[in-house]
Amino acid sequence: MSRGSTAGEPAPANRNVTLRDVARFAGVSVATASKALNGQPQVRAETRARVIQAAEQLSFSPNTIAQSLITQRTGTVGLLTSDLEGRFSIPILMGAEDAFGSDQTSVFLCDARDDAIREKHHLRALLSRRVDGLIVVGARPDTRASLGRELPVPVVYAYAPSDDPRDLSLVTDNVGGGRMAVDHLLRCGRRRIAHITGDPDYGAAQDRARGALERLAEEGLEPAGGEVWFGMWSEAWGRGATRMLLERCTDVDAIFAGSDEIARGVLDVLHEERIDVPSRVAVIGFDNWKVLAANARPPLTTIDLNLEQLGRIAAQRLSAAMEGNPGSGVETVPGRLVTRESTAPLR
Amino acid sequence: MSRGSTAGEPAPANRNVTLRDVARFAGVSVATASKALNGQPQVRAETRARVIQAAEQLSFSPNTIAQSLITQRTGTVGLLTSDLEGRFSIPILMGAEDAFGSDQTSVFLCDARDDAIREKHHLRALLSRRVDGLIVVGARPDTRASLGRELPVPVVYAYAPSDDPRDLSLVTDNVGGGRMAVDHLLRCGRRRIAHITGDPDYGAAQDRARGALERLAEEGLEPAGGEVWFGMWSEAWGRGATRMLLERCTDVDAIFAGSDEIARGVLDVLHEERIDVPSRVAVIGFDNWKVLAANARPPLTTIDLNLEQLGRIAAQRLSAAMEGNPGSGVETVPGRLVTRESTAPLR
DNA sequence: CGAAGCACCGAAAACGTTTTCAGAAACGTA
DNA sequence: TACGTTTCTGAAAACGTTTTCGGTGCTTCG
C-alpha cells in the first residue's frame, strides 16, 4: 500500500498529502471531501465514511495555514511578556497556555525583556502573523502603558494593568493579601504584629501594607514597632530589619513579611536568637515561592497570589473578547492563604 | 487623508489593507508591488519608491499567512517542553527565544506537563500549523524517547537527550561540572573534600559525583567521609547530611553540594555550629539558582550550567537543520564556575 | 405523466501573497 | 527604417483550503 513506511509504525504525518489527494483517493471532489471531514450535513453517510477512511489511510493533516487564510482566523494568540526569567510571568503563562485547549489555540511566546523597542518589534511580528488576540503580562504589578486602542485584535493585560481604563486588566489582590495575612495572625491570637516588607517604590509593597494596616485598625491595633518596615526584597533586609525590630520592641508576637525571601531572613535571625517559631513569634510570608517557603525552617505559612488562575482567567477573558464580548476595567483575582508550620494559635 | 486615525498617533496596523490596496494606491500591479517591497531587482527605482511610500502611508503589513502558504515556510518553530514550572526549561526557552531573531522566527510554546498523550496532541497541532522545526526540552537530564525519524521537520532535543543516537541532542555537562567544582576547591588548597548530593536515581547526581571523584582521584584523594552522600534534592537533606558528616569526620575543609538547595542546608548547619565559611570550611553549590545562591550567607560559589546558552545553541542547530544541515549525536555544553564568597584560599 | 421537492455532489471563486513568463517601451545599431 | 537588446511591467497561475451555488438524479404528488 503505502510505500514510505513499514506497517505498524506510527503513520508519518506526511507534510505533502493534501485534501486533493484524499478526495482523489476516495473518488470524490475536494469540495465534498472538505464537507465530509468537517461534519457538514450535506453529504451522504456512506460517502463521508469513505472520505474519512481515505484521510486516515493517507494520514492526512489539514493545512492550518490554508484554513486560516480563508476563515480569517488563525487560532493563535500572542503572549507578550516583559520578563520571562521573573517568577511571576511563568505561572501566569502556564495558566494561559493551559486554558486554551491545545487543539483550538496555540500561543506565540514573546519575551520583550522590559524593553519598549523590543516590545514594538514583537507586536508587529505578531500582528503580521495575524494572531486572534494578545495577552500582555508585565514584570511588576504597577501600571504600564496601554498598547493603544487601534489594534485590530483584542488585548488582555495581566499582572501589570494598562493605564487606559478602557482596556481589560487582570491583577493580583495585594491589598486583600495583606489583609488576609494579618487576619490569619489575629485568628492565631497574636496582637503585636510587625510588618517587614520590600521596596516602597513598588505598588505591591504599598498595597500589601495598606491591607495589613486596615485590618489592624479594625481591631484598634497599630503595627508592632509603630510603623511598617520598608526596605528591599531580599533575605539580607529581612535579617537586618528583624534585628532592629527585636531591639526596639521585645514583645512582638508575630511578623508579617512582605515576601517569602524576606521571611527567610526573618526566620534566620529568630532562629539565631533562639526565639521559637511559631510558639513565641509567628511568621507569615508572601508569594508562596515553593523553594523558599516549603524548605524553610519551619515551613512557611504564606499568601499565594493564584497567578496560575490569573493566567487562566486572562485566557478566558481573551476568548470572550475574541467572540465579540470585550470587557474593560481592572479585575482583581483574590489570593489564598497557605498554612504551614510557621504560624499556630498561641498557647 | 486617512479617515480612521488622528494625525500624529501611531499608525494603526490595519488588518484589512492588502497588497492590492497598496498597488492600486501606487498605480501599479500587485506583482510589481510585491517585487518592489521585497527588493527584487527588476523594478525601476522610482517605481519602487512610490510603492514603498504607498505601503507606509497605508501602514501595510504583509499577511504572513498568505506568504507561508506559497513559500512553504512559516517562519515558526515549536517549543515542546515537559515542565514549564521547573526552573530548567525557562532559561533554555529564553535562550532559544532570543536566538531566533523575532523578525524571522516566532516560537509556539507548548507545555506537555510530562504527559505523553498531551505531548502527542501538541505535536499534531504543531505539525498541522506547519512549523519549520521543533525543539524538545525535557524535565530531567535523563534520556527520553525520541519523537521518531518520520517527522517532516527537523528536531533538536535539549536538556534531556533523545534515546535515538541519530537525533541531535544538547545536554549540560554534569561530569565536567563536578570536576570543575572539585578543581576549584583543590585550587583553594582544600584536601578533605566531601560531596553531599541528591537523589541517586538522577543521572545528574551520578554524573556530578563521577566528575568530582575523578578529579579527586587524579590527586590521589578520596572524598571526605569515605563516600558520596546521596540523598534528596532538599535543604533538609543538606542539613541532615552535614550533621552526620561533621560527626564522622571533624577535619573536613570543603563541601561540594550537588545543588544550591542542598548547599543552603549545608551552610545553615555550619553556621549553627559556628564553623566559619569559608575560612574553615569552603562550600560550593551547583545550578547557580540566583535566589538561593546570591542570598546565602555567605553568598554561594556555585556551578552554572549555562542553560541559556544551551537554548541559544539549540536554536542555532535547529536553524542549521532547517537550512538542510542536520546534525546528530549528543553535544555537551560546558558549564562555568561562579565564584562568590563561600570559597576562598586557605590561610 | 409532468411538475415540484429533495438529497447529494462538484465547479469555481475566494483568501493574500509570490513567481513565472510574455509583452510593451525605450534604446542602440546596422 | 528595420531589427535586436535591454529594461520594466502586468496577467495569470499557484499554494490548500472553505463555501456558495447550480446541477443531476431520484422520489413524491397531483
Give the nucleotide nearest to B35 (CA→C1').
Answer: C18
Of B291, B75, B205, residue with least CA distance to A296: B291
Rounded to the nearest integer, the mean pLDDT of chain A is 93
Q: Nine-digit cell at A304?
A: 499565594
Shortest CB distance from A128 goes to which of B62, B74, B125? B62
DSSP bridge partners of B255: B194, B283
Give the nucleotide nearest to A38 (CA→C1').
Answer: D18
CA→C1' distance for A125 and C15 (Å) = 20
- Give the confidence band of A216 by pLDDT, cuts at 50, 70, 90: very high
**What are the pLDDT digits (tens) for A58-67?**
999 999 999 9
Whole-number pLDDT of residue A14: 56
Whole-number pLDDT of residue B16: 83
Total count of residues recorded for chain A: 347
Kindly give the pairing relationship between strand A76-81 and strand B106-111.
unpaired
Q: Nine-digit cell at B258?
A: 550537588
**What are the pLDDT digits (tens) for B143-152?**
999 999 989 9
Whole-number pLDDT of residue A1: 32
- For residue A211, pLDDT over 60 is answered with yes
% of chain A with per-residue pLDDT over 70: 95
Rounded to the nearest integer, the mean pLDDT of chain B is 92
- Strand C, nucleotides < 7 Å from a protein CB: these are 7-12, 14-21
- For residue B2, pLDDT over 60 is answered with no
Chain B contacts of A15, Cβ < 8 Å? Answer: 127, 130, 152-153
d(CA B149, CA A299): 47
d(CA B143, CA A98): 26
| Close Cβ partners of B53 (under 8 Å, ≥ 6 residues apart) | B26
Helices (H), chain B: 19-26, 30-37, 45-57, 64-71, 89-99, 116-128, 174-187, 203-218, 235-248, 260-272, 290-293, 307-322
More confident residue, B8 or B176: B176
* pTM of the predicted model as reported, rounded to 2 decimal places: 0.91
